[in-house]
Structure 1
């Protein structure tokens, strides 16, 4: 899979074989999310109070009012009104948010640990904002500007009196010139009054004085995001996705030889043949009862997920033919009686079963004899891949390595080959064991009575299948 594109079939195979582990990690993620909802993100509630600003306001003026609403002075006043134990205006800085909305409305949102506190925070902050804004408008009115407006009003009043005098002094008759003069004077008077009215309405103090809170804030009925349910679901989803990505990344980076040619190259040996081993995962699962083994069996990590499903094989007789052909090739390579080590990496259960069957077939062939002197005798020897050790050459004159594909790295296989060379054993060949799905056994598939069954093989035997 290391060079293949990750396909949906690969993900489906991973979900089928590792669903227990993925489910366990999702539960762990949910617990982490629940813990975060208690410690890092406790339940919070948010509500909003609205303040109306009458008149005409420019955008920069609205932004100024927003800054005033969240200023330290307003928050300190709100904290004094709330009288919450141990809560000051500085503590409220992260709990109050203000923003300008359409229609000259300032929305003040308060976030607290309970719906009641959230409502109180929004209402008190809005009230103190309006009061403080009015105080600023009243206390900071420019006296010079006020004097100038008063003087301007007096001048307007004087101009109105002068207009009245001119209107009376105009031709009292009903001539066209007199009517036009009085009409022009009245228009001038009206324009002056309208200008003064607009000037008064545009005064910031007048607009600020008209601020009003548009009713109390609504008490919230639900938590603010992220809610506890969102944190639990998010934690489960994040852990699940990380587990899936981790599995795919590990499979992508896997550089273990998977083909017969790659394994033969890593060992520096010739391929003698490939044998089929009925896939019986429950057989080796029963071996060992440690806590780590039981946990791996429970979570399904004791079975590799990144290998394709075993292919369906033929009957028992067809599988035995493959073993006999391997033994025959070994006999042809070294005519005459010969003793060989059948080396199997420790933990390779498929290869161990294949080697045991090879030992049985070789023993059966040697006992029946042949024109060429019979099959070589094999002794099964499990070897650790971490620190491979092969005994020095004595009665055995070579080594036959039996492995399954995709379980060992190139370095591990090369280590086994070097251990054979250090012990003076020539690697006479390689046998690759493939797990297959066996068909239900029928009477015709059973071996004949004269065939020797596969015995229990121990590594300390000196020869044959002891």
Structure 2
């Protein structure tokens, strides 16, 4: 499993190189979302508001909201609507209530048409008001009791006044004390009446009021068809991106020279460049981990993979700009020189290329051509091993016997094969009696654009003439 951090540049490279595949999967996800919107008909939601006069605490409002969408109220709504095939159990999912600011209970009803949604919410509001009134009673007895108390207080206060006036108007101690006690009693009765009016729950909490009929909805309730289409496309897009990132992170393919050499049990000999040419480098489909590689197939399947951009790996670095041909040939000569240093002699040397690796096959051909053109060190005809290119199937690797060659060098592109596949190639070499003398990594490069004739003439044109003094020195 790769431990490299997934960076935004990596995600960007994935989206750019797999843009055709991602676009196709996004379209498929959008079609799936559209199909889901067809299977599930649109829904509409209407909301009715009920005002609770007086002072209410937050928990009391939550209790009222729970009562509004309780099974008892919903069953009464279903009985009042009397819709065919619809009972209270089905309506419980379609009726909801919540407490809003300003002592308002909002009751929402959801149905398949705007008219049914409006009727449902209005009927739910009416049934809630009726049920709440039934819980608190009709309010007649509660309203009569405080009124009777107030009338009793008025009559008692009037009687106290009459008693005070009928008391002996003299200034004796007994008369003054009697009038004082009667006045205190009348004042206490008036204060009690005032407190009774302030604390009257029926006066503070009058009957619940429905704020008119619910407005008929003019749009679908979420998720709408557009939301399902966009959500399906986005879900498929993100799933494809995450899936490919996960697969690349769990890949067991060595990409560096030390990792590749360790998988083969040999030493790295260097890296060579292969110019990208669409006519020559027809990449075979990249095999999955644990799957046999497939050779390039000119059939419709290969054309489809090439059309979707699946014929090349996305997790390899972008090919860098190539230098000139002289620099590339210098790399091949250095690799050949290292081969001569490790295996002097004139016996043939096998160059093993994984089947289907077009970049490695091109690099092996260049390396063999370099070995044939390289001047031998010392006397002519000595110290130069001949190279023979052989393609090896990593699914069932087979290498010619030792009597045809004295060793093997493996040429492959970075990250194209797993550790297990490379270990299988090394075991095949050992069975055939060959020593893996080294590994060469081949990387594609972008050739420089050809220079136009005008640029060539400009480069070849002489510079500005330099004036010289009488002694021939430039000025």
TM-score range, shorter chain: 0.7 to 0.9
**Structure 2: which 5+ residue stretches go unaligned?**
284-295, 453-475
8 Å contact kept, 1:119–1:218: yes
**Candidates 382, 390, 394, aligned match of 1:373:** 382
Q: Tell me the TM-score normalized by structure 2.
A: 0.77
Equivalent residues of 1:134, 1:209 under 8 A apart: no
Q: Which residue of 1 aligns with 2:471?
A: none
Counterparts in 2 of 1:18-97, with a 5 A limit? Answer: 18-39=18-39, 42-59=41-58, 61-97=60-96
* Aligned match for 1:342, one of 323, 348, 351: 351
Contiguous gaps of at least 5 residues in structure 1: 444-466
The structure 2 residue matched to 1:352, chosen from 349, 361, 364, is: 361
Aligned equivalent of 1:416: 425
- Counterpart of 2:116 in structure 1 is 117
Q: Tell me the residue number matched to 1:13.
A: 13
Counterpart Cα distance in 2 of 1:425 and 1:106: 86
Q: Could you tell me the TM-score, scaled by structure 1's length?
A: 0.79
Check conservation: 1:327, 1:376, Cα contact below 8 A: no
SS at match of 1:94: coil
1:217 alignment counterpart: 214
C-alpha spacing 1:154/1:44, structure 2 compared with 1 (3 Å): same
Q: Which secondary structure state, in structure 1, belongs to the residue aligned with residue 88 of structure 2? A: coil
Change beyond 3 A, Cα 1:53–1:401: closer
In structure 2, C-alpha distance between the alignment counterparts of 1:140 and 1:4, rounded to whole Å:
74
State the SS of the aligned residue for 2:226. Answer: helix
Is contact 1:137-1:209 (8 Å) kept? no
- Deviations along 1:203-262, one digit per CA (max 9) or x if unpaired, are 4xx777622211111112223333332333233333333333333333333443223233
Give the aligned partner of residue 449 of structure 1: none
Compared CA separation, residues 314 and 157, structure 1 to 2 (3 A): closer
CA-CA distance at 1:186 after TM superposition = 6.1
Cα 1:321/1:95, change in 2 over 3 Å:
same
SS of the equivalent of 2:74 reads helix
CA contact (8 A) 1:315 1:441 kept: no
Cα offsets for 1:320-373 (capped at 9, x unmatched): 344345445545555553223221111211111111223334445699x96133
Tell me which of 262, 267, 275 is aligned to 1:278: 275
Aligned length: 436
Please name the residue that 2:289 is paired with.
Answer: none
Q: 2:318 aligns with which of 305, 309, 313?
A: 309
Distance 2:208 2:341 in 1: 106
Matched, 1:227 2:224: yes
* Contact persistence 2:46–2:118 (CA under 8 A): yes
Equivalent residue number for residue 302 of structure 2 = 293
Q: 1:275 to 1:103 in 2, by over 3 A?
A: closer
Matches within 5 A, 1:176-325: 187=187, 190-191=190-191, 194=194, 201-203=200-202, 210-281=207-278, 283-285=280-282, 287-325=296-334
Q: Which moved more, 1:224-233 or 1:110-119?
A: 224-233
Alignment of 1:137 with 2:136, yes or no, is yes
Distance 2:419 2:251 in 1: 11
Confirm or deny: 8 A CA contact 1:137 1:208 kept in the other structure: no
SS for the counterpart of 1:11 is helix
2: distance between equivalents of 1:44 and 1:165? 73
Residue in structure 1 matching 2:394, options 374, 377, 385:
385
- Larger CA deviation: 264-273 vs 154-163: 154-163
C-alpha RMSD of matched pairs (Å) = 3.9
User: Could you say if the C-alpha distance between residues 208 and 95 of structure 1 is closer, same or farther in structure 2, counting changes exceeding 3 Å?
Assistant: farther
Q: Which moved more, 1:356-365 or 1:76-85?
A: 356-365
Q: Give the aligned partner of residue 100 of structure 1.
A: 99
CA 371–331 in structure 1, closer or farther in 2 if over 3 Å, else same: farther
Alpha-carbon spacing, 1:171–1:191, altered in 2? closer, same or farther (3 Å): farther
Q: 1:156 to 1:250 in 2, by over 3 A?
A: same
Instruction: Deviation per CA, 1:30-86: give whole Å up to 9, x if none.
Output: 33333444446x533222212223344455544443333223232122222323221
How far is 1:281 from its partner?
Answer: 4.6
Q: Deviations over 1:162-189 (max 9, x none)?
A: 335414514679xx97998887676566
1:97–1:109 Cα contact (<8 Å) kept: yes
* Structure 2 SS opposite 1:109: strand
CA distance in 1: counterparts of 2:253 and 2:221, whole angstroms: 50
Q: For the residues of structure 2 that align with 1:196 and 1:429, how far apart are their CA atoms?
A: 103
